[in-house]
A and B are shown apart, each in its own frame.
Chain A
């Protein structure tokens, strides 16, 4: 009953879903055939058309990344693998190909190790997409409420006890799932990760051309954008070094 309600709500929120989906499906199939025949440019055109139509999926970005990789545009390949990972952070294929693409980059940056608890928490909420967490939280919440009602109306004392414990547990789990849903939505839409697309980009000590050159990074390098000022962005490399680069030399993943 509640699940049905959810799906009704979902369909209401995405009108005309079926029609654009069919066009995307035919473009998708054509692009895959072209890719298999090594007509990478044409395949890419088809994929890009899907992307322009506003549709997306992790596999779309993954295939686009693969196409760019075959065309030797490594920086673009990395950009699209990152986009794909945003949607499906736990997909092993995307992670594997991203690793291979990264090996072809010029810059080798040793990342600062992450505290394992933080890593574990991130991994746990990355296990499912934001939408899935939302659905799970809704299911958990509805069961929590049901058990609460049971607790209120059951006559036998032991049933009431059990229902109370289960309701509390389900409330807690629903709360966790909701947090995960919001967290993973936040992470998927965070505009803080960018890929360097310029062949060579110099990292300066201050925004503007008067800044002193601190480092030189090359295409394909992943940076975190900490703040923006005019046409400049303050970035942080995976190893913690910071500086300013021109905004037109990087492209945001989201």
Chain B
């Protein structure tokens, strides 16, 4: 099957390039025993040729090689093309059944040798097909055209495929009768496939083929490349054709004329190619992230348009994927550009062709980008994954990272980007959203379900606070009681102590020991007030005494008088003698002041 397709394709390519020198061979594939057929070698545009005949084994050469020359001249749009072809024709007859090969023939033209491929001819026992030259056609009844005489077949290169794997479907008409034409052709619709016609001849070209020991005329009507787009059992619906078959009248006329001129009858027959199912399996699991449905075998090339540019200049990145497979259906791979790039839609150039039942060639994606800031940037490697049918696994291609140095653009306004001061500022764009990173600092571990609130320790703490306060209260209270006792003792003794001191002072005055007298008087005054106010020796100062006495609502005059007395006692010790009268006067004043004070403080204490 594949060979036939290959043959067709090579024949096609021959037609395409007929302008060059060509040397071709033409022979039927299959012949019946005893059938005569032609073997033609054609040299096109080969001047000064010398033909070296091929070796022909097992086939009887009836005639040949006979040479015929054909010159052709064409004017197309005023251009003249001329071609000359020489053909060498053999008439052969097939003998015994079997496969015979016709060796290569060569032709030497201007010291260049052109060779043909060896051709093999299969000889089978049986009747020759209807279109065999020079053979009488077997009379067939008009109604007797069975499904075995004419049939249509859709052949698919593979019945099992993975999604995206290219298949070839060929619709061929087989006939043993004389098919003059076709009407009402309904070609298959390939639901579930992406399909492309790869062979659609303008005219039906017949070829002979051995089908189950019979020679059939076979015509390839259409050939498609199919790419399955969904998985499962995909049914290709039947295709139909109405054949116009010419049948020679079986009624042998009475007249002699009928013997010479055959009459034909046109019969229409609908032939249907049976439905074909193809089992398409899903691609295996575990596709890499960059897989986007590519199936086949590919190579990846990434080239930047320029290596170094200026900021705000446009540059193109070319990603070329070449190889074979469903290349025409490839989608543009995603490119990771540095963040400050303006990226435009990729421009796609598809250079793929269908050949040999698959697509091959290359597809180029051009990504126009404009870097908006300068620096030595790197375009992330392009990854492209495909499913390799032969290896049965996914393969990932990865390009090298592309360095791109973007120079600072001094003259930005020249590139259509007017930059006014302040206009350059813009808000920081969020490119993506992701969760924040984990916390890495050592945490304070706590035991699950254990809370300080409500725990025994918590209640102990609260209780201890109250207990502590209570304890403090008791302690402070005791101290205060003790202190007030002390005060009371001093208070009650104060008068007595003062009286004793005053008495001593009076004695000293009489003995005329004036210095000691003033000292004793001072002590009496000072000691009385500090005992009364429960002041320690350290706390005792004149200001403090004034303060406290004022607080106890002692008369201001009395306070002033008292302080004055203390001061005059202090002063008198170091001053010159003021005289006896004055000394006695102070003594009286001191006695009066202390008794007055005693009266007032007694009231206030109570």
Q: Which residues of A contact B (CB under 8 A)?
A: 2, 5-6, 9-10, 12-14, 17, 20-21, 24-25, 28-29, 32, 35, 54-60, 62-63, 66-67, 69, 93, 96-97, 100-101, 130-131, 133-135, 138, 141-142, 145-146, 148-149, 152-153, 181-182, 184-185, 188-189
Contacts and interface: CB of A to CB of B under 8 A. Distances in A.
B63 interface: no
A134 B445 contact: no
Given A14-B450, A32-B440, A149-B476, A101 B469 contact: no
Nearest to A20: B445
A145 B465 contact: yes
Given A32-B440, A96-B436, A152 B453 contact: no
B476 A100 contact: no
Candidate in B438, B450, B451, B462 with the most chain A CB atoms within 10 angstroms: B438
Contacts of A131: 446, 451-453
A250 to B, nearest CB: 20
Contacts, number: 114
B376 interface: no
A6 B454 contact: no
18 contacts: A9-B457, A35-B438, A54-B448, A55-B447, A58-B443, A59-B441, A69-B435, A96-B436, A130-B452, A138-B461, A149-B472, A149-B473, A152-B473, A153-B476, A181-B453, A185-B451, A185-B453, A189-B449
Contacts of A138: 461-462, 465
B439 A93 contact: yes
B486 to A, nearest CB: 15
A185 B434 contact: no
Task: Please name the 10 residue pairs, one residue from A and one from B, whose CB atoms are nearest each other, closest first.
Answer: A57-B443, A9-B457, A59-B439, A145-B469, A181-B453, A131-B452, A63-B438, A55-B445, A97-B435, A13-B457
Q: Does more than half of chain A's interface fall in helix, strand or loop, or is it mixed? A: helix
A6 B461 contact: yes
Interface of B: 433-458, 460-462, 464-466, 468-469, 472-473, 476, 480
A197 to B, nearest CB: 19
Given A57-B444, A59-B441, A145 B435 contact: no
Contacts of B445: 17, 20-21, 24-25, 55-57
B434 A100 contact: yes
Contact of B435 (A25, A100, A182): A100
B446 A13 contact: no
Given A185-B451, A189-B449, 18 more contacts: A6-B461, A13-B450, A13-B452, A35-B438, A54-B447, A55-B448, A60-B443, A62-B439, A66-B436, A66-B438, A96-B436, A100-B434, A100-B435, A101-B435, A131-B453, A138-B465, A142-B465, A149-B476
Contacts of B435: 66, 69, 96-97, 100-101
B468 to A, nearest CB: 7
A12 B469 CA distance: 23
Contacts of A185: 451, 453-454
Contact of B446 (A56, A133, A152, A153): A56
Most A CB atoms within 10 A — which of B434, B442, B443? B443
A135 B453 CA distance: 9
B440 to A, nearest CB: 5
B483 to A, nearest CB: 11
A15 B146 CA distance: 100
Nearest to B450: A14
B453 A13 contact: no
A189 B451 contact: yes
A74 B438 CA distance: 16
Contacts of B460: 9
